[in-house]
Chain A
Amino acid sequence: DTEVTQTPKHLVMGMTNKKSLKCEQHMGHRAMYWYKQKAKKPPELMFVYSYEKLSINESVPSRFSPECPNSSLLNLHLHALQPEDSALYLCASSQRDNVLTFGAGSRLTVL
């Protein structure tokens, strides 16, 4: 299994809603990442978990809350988002060779 699976593929939410994005990998990778990608832009790093501990937080607003329940799962909890948070959210994982394996992404629209 060489995939990173993200759910849901599409999410529409209001600014007062609470929702979560989910990511799962079964490649035994011990580093997992959340990236945010706006249209026609490169991915921007948000969070990195290494061995299920938060390793990097790129000064992301607290309305985004990551969680790594175990070595295969990564969640991104969303609360009180703004319309400018609408984007493609990409999950990735990696092992020692530093190659990122990406999921297909969750496209988020905030109304």
Chain B
Amino acid sequence: AQSVTQLDSQVPVFEEAPVELRCNYSSSVSVYLFWYVQYPNQGLQLLLKYLSGSTLVKGINGFEAEFNKSQTSFHLRKPSVHISDTAEYFCAVRGGGGFKTIFGAGTRLFVKA
């Protein structure tokens, strides 16, 4: 079975500052890892994914994440945030070959002017 822990429920940050949203996972099998973003009153949208290969993955809107197998982490980073990045961010894990995507509890990113 897989599980996901997002270490911060809320992250307030000033505009143009860097941000890191932390995610740890556990799994007994190889996994696929994802970050999704949810804006108010909308569905979830894929930011980026790690399936295999390079451990540094780049996504939309200037976000990137690094897969660290030894630390079982998949932290999301952005060097300079905008007000429009204010949203809920979900880290997710899926076992290879399965249909179940397990979501973390979410991190609310609040960007202040």
* Residue positions of A touching B, CB distance < 8 A: 4, 6, 31, 33, 40-43, 45, 48, 50, 55-56, 90, 92, 97-105, 107
B42 at the interface (CB under 8 A from A): yes
A-B contact count, CB below 8 Å? Answer: 54
Give 14 pairs: A residue, B residue, CB < 8 Å, sorted on A.
A33-B99, A42-B105, A42-B106, A43-B44, A43-B103, A45-B101, A50-B99, A56-B100, A90-B44, A92-B44, A97-B51, A98-B49, A103-B43, A104-B42
State A99–B45 Cα separation when bound (angstroms).
Answer: 10
Residues of B participating in the A interface, judged by any CB pair closer than 8 Å = 32, 34, 36, 41-46, 49, 51, 90, 94, 99-101, 103-106
Evaluate contact between B100 and A45: CB separation under 8 angstroms: yes
In whole Å, how far is A52's beta carbon from the nearest beta carbon of chain B? 14
